[in-house]
Homo-oligomer: A and B are copies of this chain.
Amino acid sequence: MNIYDVSKKAGVSIATVSRVLNGNQNVSDKTKDKVLSVMKELGYTPNVFARGLGLNTMHTIGILCSDSSDAFLANAVYYIEQALRKNGYESFLCCTGYELENKKNYLRLLLSKRVDAVILVGSHYLEPNKADNDYIISAANEVPVMMINGYLNHPNIYCTLCDDYQAVYDTVGRIASHGKKDFMFLYRSDSNSSRTKIRGFRDGIEAAGLTLAEDAVMFCPNDISETKEILLSYYREGAKCDAILTSEDSLAVAAVKFAGSLGLRIPQDLEIVGYNNSLLGICTEPELSTLDNHVETLSITTVNTLMRVLQGADVPNKTTISNDFIVRGTAY
């Protein structure tokens, strides 16, 4: 079942069938109708490989995501995927994990599949060591590279980020204005986003005229109750703490549990701020106040930008979106 069968049955040449297929105007309505009806009758579907061979594209975008079981990333992938399809593009999804070598391999794999562009979802694709980002730059020589929550200043790389620095910076000021003095910042992975947040935190502390205790910026394990225990032992060693900011909601959950164990009142004795406005935030008691980084906007903006790039438009290579402070029970 191919274009020849259709042309034969419709009594026209394959060129005409192809024209109908591609919406070419130079076809009389009669023949067009004839061809369309034959196509329907035969249940004809053009072969994407042959088409791809000629056009050297399958209208497919590669998505790279370190871990689609992470709620934030999963949501981003969801919105991206929807938006792409709305624009007539399909997507290859690759979950790379967090190791540089795998990221490189999967990116290469996607390029070998002749994707039209690549979207890197999440700040884990930006390595602290500059040279380690060369694989992204070299990819940009072949196709447009879109980054969500990562920034690389290079031609053909387009970045959409939320302003993590400002969000944390502002939040410190906000909480400090309530009279809180002993801040902690909990983070988990050593991603670019975490580093940015930490900078915002330190600068915010300084701007508020406060000082940080040793270990006040704390790297936490990937387990909520373990994190709670660490906080407890930190506290029992005499550390003071009346405000905890975090790089993600799950850490704030741990903080809530920590407060619960000690009978600390939230938010009077301890204010806690999550990050990402995820589902976890409405499971705790009280519910989490959290910084919303607008995954949906981030994702859709990325796709829209990509579409403009593919159309050859001149597009700025950095778009920043501000975060929102969501007030619920753990901070105000």
Contact = CB atoms under 8 A, between A and B. Distances in A.
A264 interface: no
B279 A250 contact: yes
B95 A92 contact: no
Contacts of A67: 78
A69 B239 CA distance: 39
A85 B56 CA distance: 23
Nearest to A295: B69
A285 B91 CA distance: 40
Interface stretch (A17-25, A44-52, A176-184): A44-52
Given A250-B279, A283-B224, A69 B58 contact: no
Interface string A24-64: 00000000000000000000011111101100101000000
Contacts of A74: 68-69, 71, 74
B47 A49 contact: no
A68 B95 CA distance: 14
A260 interface: yes
A284 interface: yes
Interface in A196-241: 224-225
A81 interface: yes
A249 to B, nearest CB: 9
A85 B94 contact: yes
Nearest to A257: B285
Interface string A63-92: 000011101001101100110010000111
A308 interface: no
A82 B48 CA distance: 25
A109 B257 CA distance: 47
A282 B91 CA distance: 34
Given A93-B81, A93-B91, A93-B93, A283 B253 contact: yes
A9 interface: no
A82 B95 contact: yes
A113 B283 CA distance: 41
A283 B75 CA distance: 20
Interface in A131-180: none
A25 B280 CA distance: 55
Nearest to A68: B78
Contacts of A49: 49-50, 52-53, 56, 58, 114
Contacts of A91: 92-93
A112 interface: yes
18 contacts: A45-B111, A47-B53, A47-B114, A49-B49, A49-B53, A52-B52, A68-B78, A69-B75, A69-B78, A71-B279, A81-B93, A90-B92, A90-B113, A93-B93, A224-B283, A225-B282, A253-B282, A279-B280
